Amino acid sequence: MRISLFLTAMACGLTSDALAASQVIVHYPHTAAAAVVKDAERLLQLTTSPALAQRSWWPGTVIAEPLASAAAQQHYRQTLARLRGWAASEQGDRAAAVNAVIQQLSKVRVTGRQFTVLDPDWIRLHPEANRRLEGEYHLYTLRRPDTVTLMGAISNDGKTSWRPGGDTRDYLQGHTRLSGAEMNQAIVIAPDGATQTVPVAYWNHRHVEVMPGSTIFIGFSRPALPDELRDLNSQIVTILTQRVPD
């Protein structure tokens, strides 16, 4: 009996250790190559590993957890379905505007981003940020970007060159709003996933600079949105905060 209890305790201990162990699959930009970091107990150990040291731009690096990724992808599919339903009920310029946003989002890859600082220097200075790692994660690296991405109900969407000191409204110059677009404000999604609503009309303009790698999103105005889609802009913004860096 004592031996049996001892073996059971050992098995439980091994199971606990196995569950506590981490495995992080590190993805590099523009390549299918990946590295695996095993048994990193905390973030600092992961971010200083050879697979990552000096190999990513920390503000835009994304770490994701599988269950959260499944939820993010479900949200992504549901949002696209709602947009397609709206487009099917519209005609002319309004339908074209909604379809333009659908086309933009169709190119986005989403993941279950964990919103935590990954810069090892920050983690060293703030021990509470050195979070424990358990289970499997995917981490997406990137080079320091030199562009800003325009998305939403706006013409000529896509990447444009980042300008030091450039104001949010400066990036929108020369880009026509599509039918139903919000005219008075934009939403800026920073590389770390933080969002900020920025007034951009002539009467409420506030100077807000954007980081390289940011996304400037022009949503649909409240009068343009059907009653059942009042939360559509926020749903799209959630997708953009969870995008895999490219």
Residue-wise pLDDT tens digits, 89-111: 999 999 999 999 999 999 999 99
What pLDDT shows up at residue 122? 96
Instruction: Please give the residue that has the higher pLDDT: either 212 or 19.
Output: 212
> Mean pLDDT over residues 6-29, rounded?
62
Q: Could you tell me where in the chain the CATH 3.10.560.10 domains are found?
A: 79-109+144-241
pLDDT greater than 90 at residue 7: no
**Strand-strand pairing, 62-64 and 135-140:** antiparallel
pTM: predicted TM-score of the whole model, two decimal places: 0.90
What pLDDT shows up at residue 83? 98
Instruction: Please give the residue that has the higher pLDDT: either 190 or 14.
Output: 190
> Mean pLDDT over residues 152-175, rounded?
96
Q: How confident is the model at residue 20 (pLDDT cuts 50, 70, 90)?
A: low
What pLDDT shows up at residue 13? 45
Percent of the chain scored above 90 by pLDDT? 89
Q: Is CATH 3.90.78.10 what the domain over 79-109+144-241 is classified as, yes or no?
A: no
Helices assigned H by DSSP within the chain = 2-20, 43-47, 66-89, 92-106, 120-125, 168-172, 232-241
What pLDDT shows up at residue 53? 87
Between 3.90.950.10, 3.10.20.700, 3.40.630.30, 3.90.110.10, what CATH number should domain 2-67+114-140 receive? 3.10.20.700
Cα 161 to its chain centre, rounded Å, is 20
Mean residue pLDDT of the chain comes to: 92
DSSP string, 174-189: T-PBPTTB-SSEEEEE
Q: Could you tell me where in the chain the CATH 3.10.20.700 domains are found?
A: 2-67+114-140
